[in-house]
Amino acid sequence: MTRTFITSCAAAALAVAAAPAFAGNLAEPVVVQAPAPVMAAPVVMGSDWTGAYVGGSLGYADIEDDGALFDDDANGMTYGVHAGYDYDFGTFVLGGEIEIAGADIEDGVSGAEVDSIARLKARAGYDAGQFMPYLTAGVAQLNLDSGDDTGAVYGVGLDYKVTDSIRVGGEVLKHDFEDFNDTGNDIDATTASLRVSYEF
């Protein structure tokens, strides 16, 4: 009787001790998931537009007035030189430029000739890396064979950095000369030009 009781107790103790092992074996395995990959946002690298520059331009001009100085055929080639300075604030670029352009324009009816157009402009641009679109405005002087006068100039442009020191671009400008040289004529001139500049 005693031996049977001891045997039963030992069997019960073994069963209790083995129960956690069996329970652990029956538990579902724990799956650890790998973290999802994090996509880094693309980094846009800017370009430093700070510096002085000089260059040349070749373009086309169309001139109209409300009087008898020019007719609808007053247009022709322009060619010029410019110099300026830009300062890059990070994304915003501010600068100034002086430019003088000669012209090959003669009115077929009146014989009026355009000698040159001089401009003093401020430029406000956006640093888009190698590209810089900009707005420009200032004062301009139109020189004809019959006289000269000062008016307003404004427009848009785009510069592209081929290298750290070479820029190419284009510019479209509108010129307004009211009561030109006290003649009572209002003259409007539109120019479009291609430009090359060296930055140093």
Q: Where are the domains of the chain?
A: 51-199
Say if residues 61 and 155 touch (Cβ distance below 8 Å).
no
State the Cα–Cα distance between residues 120 and 181, nearest whole angstrom: 19
Chain center to CA of 167 = 13
d(CA 192, CA 197): 16
- The whole-number pLDDT of residue 64 equals 87
Instruction: Indicate the CATH number for domain 51-199.
Output: 2.40.160.20
**Per-residue confidence (pLDDT) for residue 46, from 0 to 100:** 57
At 35, give phi and psi (nearest 5°): -65, 145
CB 26 within 8 A of CB 163: no
- Tokens 């300026």 belong to residue: 84
Token pair, residue 164, equals: 């750290």
CB atoms within 10 A of CB 158: 16
The helix/strand/coil state of 182 is helix
Q: In the chain, where does DSSP find H-type helix?
A: 2-26
For the full predicted model, state whether its pTM sits above 0.85: no
Residue 187: how many CB atoms within 10 A of its CB?
A: 25
Range from 71-75, 171-175, 184-188 carrying the lowest mean pLDDT: 71-75
pLDDT one-digit tens code per residue, 41-55: 444 455 799 999 999
pLDDT on residue 23: 46
Q: How confident is the model at residue 32 (pLDDT cuts 50, 70, 90)?
A: low
Rounded Cα distance, 128 and 184, in Å: 44
175 and 189 Cβ atoms separated by less than 8 Å: yes
Chain-wide mean pLDDT for the chain? Answer: 84
Of all residues in the chain, the percent with pLDDT exceeding 70 is 75
What confidence score (pLDDT) does residue 22 get? 46
- pLDDT, tens digit (0-9, with 9 covering 90-100), for 89-140: 999 999 999 999 999 888 877 788 899 999 999 999 999 999 999 999 999 9
